[in-house]
Each structure stands twice: as structure tokens, then as C-alpha cells.
Amino acid sequence: MEMQGEKNISKHLVRKQDSIQSKFIKPSKATREDQLGKLICYLSIGMIVALVVCILYFITSRGLATFIQNHVGIWQFISGSSWNPGMVDGSGNPQVGALPMIVTSFGVTLLAALLATPFAIAMAVFMTEIAPQRGTKALQAVTELLVGIPSVVYGFIGLSVIVPAVRHLFGGTGFGILSGTLVLFVMILPTVTSLSVDSLRAVPIHYRQASLALGATRWQTIRKVVLKTATPGVLTAIVFGMARAFGEALAVQMVIGNAVLMPHSLVSPASTLTSQLTTQIGNTVMGTLPNNALWSLALVLLLMSLFFNLTVRFIGNWGKRKYES
């Protein structure tokens, strides 16, 4: 009897040990949830990466077809100034010179950034330094509103207000780089402003205090400390604005005139890379040279956005080196 009792007890102990052991060996509910979360995360990332790779591959392969299948020289594409992909010139070469569009795209982008920067900085300074409460409330609403307006509405306003005004003031048709610049200026203003505001807000309050305590006026503090320290951030804001201007298609297309000609003045009709794409992509047949040539324009746009991204990174690193020890 006694023996059996001991046996029972030891059996019981073994069973207890087993259950503890299995508890530690088997993954708990929390662990399983953890792994499931990781799995979902990796799956989503994998899909996005695959999607991006597909897009890059598609644009690149189509964009390079102009040069590989149709044997157009890259230099001819970049520096040629006559664009008429369906036709051949006197010596039998297809007319796929993209220079007028590249120049126009850069023209409107740079001019719009040049115009928007002082206004954006002024607004940002007003919102962060001069009237942080009142100003932020009012101008924040304005910038958010500007972001929310669809680009076709900007284009429409440009078409019905800016183009006639430019025509009236400077002659010509009114379509051209100047009108495009003015429309883009309003469109990129909120981007540049809100990013500039962020970078001014990131300037530590103790820099301002130190400057004021040394007998600086508020304006001196803004100019010599706040804006100086925020320079990398403001530059980043400008580049983001330029990226947006470079990529904007619809609104620009409505006011630029869409003539693939080398712009000889700010009020002569021209065409950007994007406006040419939006107007022409429906008129070409996939696999033909006119279609491939448009894909090449898309490839140029892609490379440019890559360039803008790299610039932003470069500025960020430079700012870190300069303003953080």
C-alpha cells in the first residue's frame, strides 16, 4: 500500500513536471501573435518592394526601347531640339530631341521655386517666430486649403485668370513658362511653407534665448540664429517643392501651351516633360517609336525624382555634420 502511494506521488510529480516543461517548450499565445505580426509586416513590405521594382523595371525597359530597338542615340535624345517622333528628318533619323521639354521643365521648376521660397520663408517665420498662436492658426488653415485644392482646379484658374492676364501684360498668347511658373508657385507654396515651418520649429528654444539674452533684437535672432540653423531644413523644403513642381502635369499642361518648341521667351508656348506625356500618351500605339519616346520622357522624370531624393539626403547629412556635433 505504502509503495503504491509513493508511486502515485512520483507519477503525479512527473506529470506536473511534464506540464511545466511543455508550457515552456510550446510557444505562448503572445509569441504566436508576435510572429504573426512580423509575418504580416514582412509580407506587406515584400509586396510593396515588388511593386516598386516592377514599376522601375517597366519604365526603364520601355524607356530604353527608344535607344535599343529604335536605335536613337542617347545624345541625340538629350540634345536634339526637334520633337516629332512619327516623322523622320532630312537624313532619315527620327525626330526625338527632348531638349525643349527638359529645358522647359527645369525652367518652370526653378522659377517657381525661386518665386515661392521668399514667400514660404516669410510665412514660416511669421508662423513660428512672430505670431506663433494667431499666425499659425490663420496660415495653417490657408496652407492646408491650398494643398487640398485639386490640380485641375489650379489649372482651370490658371487658364481663365493667369493666361489672359499674362497675355494682356506681356503680349503673345499668354500660354508659356511664365503662366506655368505662376500656377506652380501657388501649388508648391504650401509644401515649402509647411516643411520650412517644421524646420524652424525644430530649432531649439535655447538658441533663441541665448541670442536675445546677448542683446539681439528679435529680427537679428531670426536672421542670424534661427534661419541659419534651419538652413538645411529650409533647403530640403525647397527641393521637395521643386520635386513637386517638376512632377506636376495637369495644371501645367493647361497653361503652358503644349508646343514642343525651344522656349525663346517666358511667354512663348512650350511643353514640359509631364505635359507632353499627358497630352500624347493616348495618341500613340504601344511598341511604336512615338510611344517608346514618351516612355523615355517618363524615364527622364524618374531619374530626376531620384536626383531630387538624393539631393534631399545629401542636404540632410550635410546639415547634421554642420549643426550637430
Partner 1 sequence: MTNVITTDNVRISYGDHEALHGINLNFQENQITALIGPSGCGKSTYLRSLNRMNDLIPNTTVTGEIRFRNNDIYSNSTDVVDLRKKIGMLFQQPNPFPLSVYENVAYGLKLSGVVNKRMLDERVEISLKQAAIWDEVKDSLNKNALSFSGGQQQRICMARVLAVQPEVILMDEPTSALDPISSAKIEETLMSIHDQFTIIIVTHNMQQAARISDKTAFLLNGDLVEFDQTEKMFINPKMDATSDYLNGKFG
Q: Which residues bind partner 1 (CB under 8 A)?
A: 204, 206-217, 220, 224-225, 228-229, 322-325
By C-beta, is 209 or 288 nearer to partner 1? 209
List 95's β-bridge partners, or say none: 84
Nearest-approach distance from CB 144 to partner 1, in angstroms: 25
Q: Are 257 and 269 in contact (CB under 8 A)?
A: yes
Nearest-approach distance from CB 317 to partner 1, in angstroms: 15
Nearest-approach distance from CB 204 to partner 1, in angstroms: 8
Q: Are 101 and 272 in contact (CB under 8 A)?
A: yes
Nearest-approach distance from CB 208 to partner 1, in angstroms: 8
By C-beta, is 7 or 322 nearer to partner 1? 322
Nearest-approach distance from CB 280 to partner 1, in angstroms: 50
CA nearest 154: which of 238, 249, 246?
A: 249
How distant is the alpha carbon of residue 304 from its chain centre?
10
By C-beta, is 11 or 224 nearer to partner 1? 224
By C-beta, is 38 or 322 nearer to partner 1? 322
By C-beta, is 126 or 185 nearer to partner 1? 126
Could you give the CA distance from residue 7 to residue 12 in angstroms, rounded to a whole number? 8
Amino acid at 249: A
DSSP symbol at 1:
-
277 contact partners, CB below 8 Å, separation of at least 6: 249, 294, 297, 298, 301
Q: Are 255 and 179 in contact (CB under 8 A)?
A: yes
